[in-house]
Structure 1
């Protein structure tokens, strides 16, 4: 339904090291790398998640209520992404666990990246 999603970063190299590690458990990798932007996607697929310096040249800022959610095929991948995010300096916004208020199999974790962008990783599978 969408072409891509973009979050801002003040230090693209630092953001790349963070996201390279955090997204690896989901099979998501850097597909395009530039000095001011990195495009991530599944192997062989298009770059659909972009981390970039703001185009207007101003500092990155966080949108209140804005969140990017990545799909995981298993709950273990949710756990792994959250653990890597915490180890890499991310800020916990909700430990991995079931969120039955969404539905009985919704298993998610929430964190903020190094620039304060809110990220969710979730599995909607029974395992």
Structure 2
């Protein structure tokens, strides 16, 4: 459905470290740092990409209140690894601890974090 998602960041070094850690825990390779034309860190998959970028308008980045970016996790263990890697890399765990939760879609394994810029992200495993 999506070709790309971008998140604003004020400290690219901290964001690069954080996203390399959380996405690495989900099996993705490290991001590529780009200086121009849009400074940021880019994570590519065969189906899309994530950019963690300095805002083009030169203003400070801020998080979207009510917004969340969810990343697919291959297992419940990957959800926990995502949460642990994120906290170790400067993120903040929010909401309930990583683990199973009841939802309208059945039991999901979830972990929610705030990245160094305050963006809300999560890892999700949907048991088959």
TM over 0.5: yes
Deviation of 1:46 (Å):
5.8
**Structure 2: distance between partners of 1:124 and 1:41:** 22
Paired position in structure 2 for 1:6: 6
**Structure 2: distance between partners of 1:30 and 1:46:** 16
Gaps of 5+ in 1: none
- Give per-residue Cα distances to partners, 1:88-122, cap 9 Å, x unaligned: 22111132121212333311010100110000101
SS of residue in 1 equivalent to 2:3: coil
Please identify runs of 4+ aligned residues in structure 1 that moved more than 3 A. none
Deviation of 1:47 (Å):
5.2
SS of residue in 2 equivalent to 1:84: helix
SS of residue in 1 equivalent to 2:106: coil
Paired position in structure 2 for 1:41: 44
**Structure 2: distance between partners of 1:12 and 1:50:** 11
- Give per-residue Cα distances to partners, 1:59-94, cap 9 Å, x unaligned: 001111011000001010000010011112211113
TM-score, reference length from structure 2: 0.88
Paired position in structure 2 for 1:16: 16
Gaps of 5+ in 2: none
RMSD: 1.6
Tell me, yes or no, if the aligned pair for 1:96 and 1:107 is still in contact at 8 Å: yes
SS of residue in 1 equivalent to 2:121: strand
**Counting strand residues as a fraction of each chain, which structure ranks higher?**
2
SS of residue in 2 equivalent to 1:106: strand
SS of residue in 1 equivalent to 2:55: coil
Greater relative CO (CA pairs within 8 A, separation 6+): 2
